[in-house]
Amino acid sequence: MSLGTVSNVLNNPEVVALPTRQRVLEAIDRTGFVRSTAAHQLRVGKSRTVGVVLLDIANPFFAEMVRGAEGVLRDNGYVLMVCSTDESIERERRYLRVLEEHRVDGLLITPVEHDLREVAELAGRGIPTVLLDRDGGEQELCSATVDDIRGGELAAGHLFELGHQAIAFVNGPSSIRQCADRREGAQRALRRARRRSPATLREMTVNALSVDQGEKAAIGLLSLTPRPSAVMCANDQLALGVLKSLSEAGVAVPDEMAVVGYDDVSFASMLSPALTSVRQPKYELGAIAAELLLEEALGSNHKHRSVRFEPELVVRASSGATRRGAGRAGQPRPVP
């Protein structure tokens, strides 16, 4: 019963005679032996590990995506190293460094910045990489995305169509691609609206897509002149914060202020009022990204692929669309 045989029992059981195999298994059990992935990795070059770098795991949008990815990766024997960057490029860099030192077998990443060169370099150094909710642009990278330009257009277009002329857009830094895209979509809707009326879109940039920042932004928003009659938020966390602040300030939604979110997280439909939002297939996004990653990591002759989903506007009470005669700016009306 030698070292090599033990290894074979673990990795190629069929090559070892049954009696020996059992003797080995019994010994493993008796001694409480647990193989070392590190040593395995050193020899074979696979760490059975995938890095997942995202903006914030406490954001339900990302958490759902992670669940989608975890489901497929777990079944393939991988474990996830989850890294929240909090939208900090330094933190992202540090994490990428650490993940590379760990020799992750793959990387799922929602990059903080617009510029993908660092990520592309990593991929170039041989780490299979899939962009999460972010397309590769000119870089040759796999990605699983939702059309954010279209999503932004849906959200803003909805508000313009309801007759709002002064819309505020609580958006994250435009260094974040999703934010830039949603803004572009919103501006597209704006241009269209302008053909009929003097519409305006006032962007308020916050530095994180969080509930906190949404609360702060809403306060600022109320002191704008003229006060906008509608807000569009770059995600539901921000929208939640905005709703909180408006509620505290006694501003009626949607009558004094219409609100639209983005992501359609699980609680959006049960907010007070129910939040109109742009739905993204979160779980599927993660699952597809993981599958692309496996393809790239295992497949021999891999071609980069991008999967793109279509966003969908889910209209609920917060935008006021359910009222007859959709609301005009600053004209509070009695609750039905």
Partner DNA sequence: GTGAAAGCGCTAACAT
Partner DNA sequence: ATGTTAGCGCTTTCAC
Q: By the criterion CB under 7 A, which residues form the site for DNA?
A: 1-8, 10-11, 15-17, 19-21, 33-36, 39-40, 42-44
Cβ–Cβ under 8 Å, residues 200 and 165: yes
Q: Identify the DSSP state of 325.
A: S
Cα 140 from Cα 280, distance rounded (Å): 24
Task: By CB under 8 A, name the one of 16, 56, 150, 254 that touches a second copy.
Answer: 56
Question: 169-204 in b/e burial notation, b at 16+ Cβ within 10 A?
Answer: bbbbbbebbbbbbbbebbbbbbeebeeeeebebebb
Residue keyed to tokens 């939702």: 146
Cβ–Cβ under 8 Å, residues 293 and 123: no
60 binds, among DNA, a second copy, none (CB under 5 to 8 A by kind): a second copy
Q: Give the tokens for residue 47.
A: 């760490």
Between residue 99 and residue 118, which ones bind a second copy under the rule CB under 8 A? 99-103
17 binds, among a second copy, DNA, none (CB under 5 to 8 A by kind): DNA
**Least distance to DNA, CB of residue 7, Å:** 3
270 binds, among a second copy, DNA, none (CB under 5 to 8 A by kind): a second copy
Q: Identify the DSSP state of 263.
A: B
226 binds, among DNA, a second copy, none (CB under 5 to 8 A by kind): none
Cα 302 from Cα 296, distance rounded (Å): 6
Query: Quick check: 215 binds a second copy (CB under 8 A)?
Result: no
- Contacts of 275 by beta carbon, 8 Å cutoff, 6+ apart: 236, 239, 240, 243, 259, 260, 261, 264, 268, 269, 316, 318
Task: By CB under 8 A, name the one of 267, 330, 332, 333 that touches a second copy.
Answer: 267
Cβ–Cβ under 8 Å, residues 268 and 275: yes
4 binds, among DNA, a second copy, none (CB under 5 to 8 A by kind): DNA
Find the part of the chain contacting a second copy (CB under 8 A) among 20-28, 79-87, 139-147, 306-314: 79-87
Query: Quick check: 207 binds a second copy (CB under 8 A)?
Result: no
Query: Quick check: 272 binds a second copy (CB under 8 A)?
Result: yes
The continuous run of DSSP H or E covering 97 comes out as: helix 89-101
**Least distance to a second copy, CB of residue 160, Å:** 26
Query: Quick check: 258 binds a second copy (CB under 8 A)?
Result: no
168 binds, among a second copy, DNA, none (CB under 5 to 8 A by kind): none
Q: Given the rule CB under 8 A, which residues bind a second copy?
A: 32, 34-39, 41-42, 47-49, 56-58, 60, 63-64, 66-67, 70, 74, 77, 79-84, 91, 95, 97-103, 125, 211, 240, 243-244, 247, 266-267, 269-274
